[in-house]
């Protein structure tokens, strides 16, 4: 009789010490009484291929992938899901029983689930969305909003050419707005999303003028350190419906945990508390 292997999972990035994923998955393993461990791993780009091909042999069922490896892992996977292909990056690897490595991207799913839970009255088809920032996270947000039926996305980024690239990848429902005009689009939209790193601890503050925000507009920030960014505090003062970025992190982890450990976890206040611990 062979002993049942204890499943292992983890997160690979560099640096990795800031990651909240170990507390999050550790909390779910504990609350569901499941055997398993979730381990943070600081891996350089030079070692990425060797580490990823070795992990399945050590009992790993999959890993999360974070900065700076989200794009590079696509080239190491045998199977890439449609949404990871569309986004051009993966945040989740599944080491399948047939030996194949599957790459997926659950960031867009996490983003939409967080919005649904934080702003349940938001209807995707009811109006355009403004997106500030055009980096890696913006790709997942745009893909998920277009998929949800948002009619138009007004995209503004400091480096305009990056926004133009997203428009050419995602098509005519994306319109590029110059960064100096970003404040002017806020009054026309039903949803505002900050996907830039502005407002994050250690980064510059968001300087986009926010006085055009209308009461009732849904405003969400991907930045979750701090939980209440200046964008969210100002939007709240103006009567907007605000949704912080921590929920996206929690929701994007749900499908991966289910694939790896066989139980679909729920996101609740205890999950938030565990991630913040
Ligand atoms: P990224 O690819 O490095 O993109 C950074 C974005 O921020 C770019 O649009 C960049 O504009 C903009 N930016 C940086 N400094 C700026 C400045 N001084 N002025 C104006 N714009 C500036 O990073 P990312 O992966 O997209 O992540 C962006 C943020 O989202 C990070 O804070 C990350 O922690 C957060 N995030 C949160 C979640 C979640 O689950 N809540 C998930 C993913 C990411 P340029 O193109 O001009 O450089």
Q: Is a pLDDT exceeding 60 seen at residue 1?
A: no
Q: Which residues contact 14 (CB under 8 A, 6 or more apart)?
A: 42, 43, 44, 45, 67, 68, 69
Nearest CA to ligand 1 atom 48: 159
Catalytic residue among 5, 57, 70, 100: 70
What's the CA dihedral at 34, 39, 40, 42 to 10 degrees?
Answer: -150
Asked whether 69 and 13 are in contact (CB, 8 A), the reply is yes
Q: How far apart are CA 200 and CA 124, in angstroms?
A: 27
Q: In this predicted structure, what is the pLDDT of residue 57?
A: 95
Long-range contacts of range 27-33, CB-CB < 8 Å, 24 or more positions apart?
Answer: 27/270, 27/271, 27/274, 27/275, 28/257, 28/261, 28/263, 28/265, 28/271, 29/261, 31/265, 31/270, 32/261, 32/263, 32/265
pTM, rounded to two decimals: 0.95
Q: Mean pLDDT over residues 172-176, rounded?
A: 98
Q: How many residues does the chain have?
A: 277
The domains found in the chain, sorted by start residue, are: 8-105+248-276 (3.40.50.10860), 108-244 (3.40.50.720)
- Give, in order, the Cα–Cα distances in Å from 215 to each of 35, 128, 183, 234: 47, 16, 15, 11
Per cent of the chain over pLDDT 70 is: 99
CB of 208 shorter than 6 A to ligand 1: no
Model pLDDT for residues 82-92, shown as the tens digit of each residue: 999 999 999 99
Computed over every residue of the chain, the mean pLDDT equals 96
Q: How far apart are CA 23 and CA 246, in angstroms?
A: 13
Spell out where the chain has E strands.
8-13, 37-42, 60-65, 79-80, 92-95, 101-104, 129-132, 153-157, 174-178, 191-194, 218-221, 241-243
Q: In this predicted structure, what is the pLDDT of residue 5?
A: 83
What's the CA dihedral at 255, 261, 262, 265 to 10 degrees?
Answer: -50
Q: How far apart are CA 181 and CA 177, in angstroms?
A: 7
CB of 207 shorter than 6 A to ligand 1: no
Model pLDDT for residues 191-237, shown as the tens digit of each residue: 999 999 999 999 999 999 999 999 999 999 999 999 999 999 999 99
CB of 209 shorter than 6 A to ligand 1: no
- 141 C-alpha to ligand 1 centroid (Å): 12
């Amino acid at each position: 009789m062979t002993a049942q292997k204890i499943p292992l999972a983890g997160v690979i990035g560099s640096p990795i010490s800031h990651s909240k994923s170990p507390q999050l998955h550790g909390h779910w393993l504990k609350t569901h009484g499941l055997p398993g461990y979730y381990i943070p791993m600081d891996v350089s780009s030079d070692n990425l291929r060797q580490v990823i091909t070795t992990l399945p042999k050590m009992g790993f069922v999959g890993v999360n992938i974070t900065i700076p490896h989200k794009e590079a892992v696509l080239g190491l996977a045998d199977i890439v899901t449609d949404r990871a292909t569309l986004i051009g990056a993966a945040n989740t690897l599944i080491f399948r029983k047939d030996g194949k490595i599957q790459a997926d991207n659950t960031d867009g799913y996490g983003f939409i689930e967080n919005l649904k839970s934080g702003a349940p009255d938001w209807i995707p088809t009811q109006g355009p969305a403004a997106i500030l920032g055009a980096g890696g996270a913006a790709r997942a947000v745009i893909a998920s909003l277009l998929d949800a039926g948002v009619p138009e996305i007004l995209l503004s980024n400091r480096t305009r050419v990056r926004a133009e690239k997203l428009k050419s990848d995602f098509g005519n429902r994306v319109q590029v707005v110059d960064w100096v005009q970003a404040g002017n689009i806020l009054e026309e939209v039903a949803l505002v999303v900050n996907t830039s790193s502005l407002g994050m601890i250690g980064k510059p503050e968001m300087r986009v003028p926010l006085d055009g925000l209308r009461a009732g507009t849904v405003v969400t920030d991907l930045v979750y350190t701090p939980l209440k960014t200046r964008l969210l505090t100002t939007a709240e003062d103006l009567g907007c419906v605000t949704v912080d970025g921590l929920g996206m992190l929690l929701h994007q982890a749900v499908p991966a945990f289910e694939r790896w450990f066989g139980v679909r976890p729920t996101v609740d206040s205890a999950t938030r508390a565990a991630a913040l611990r």
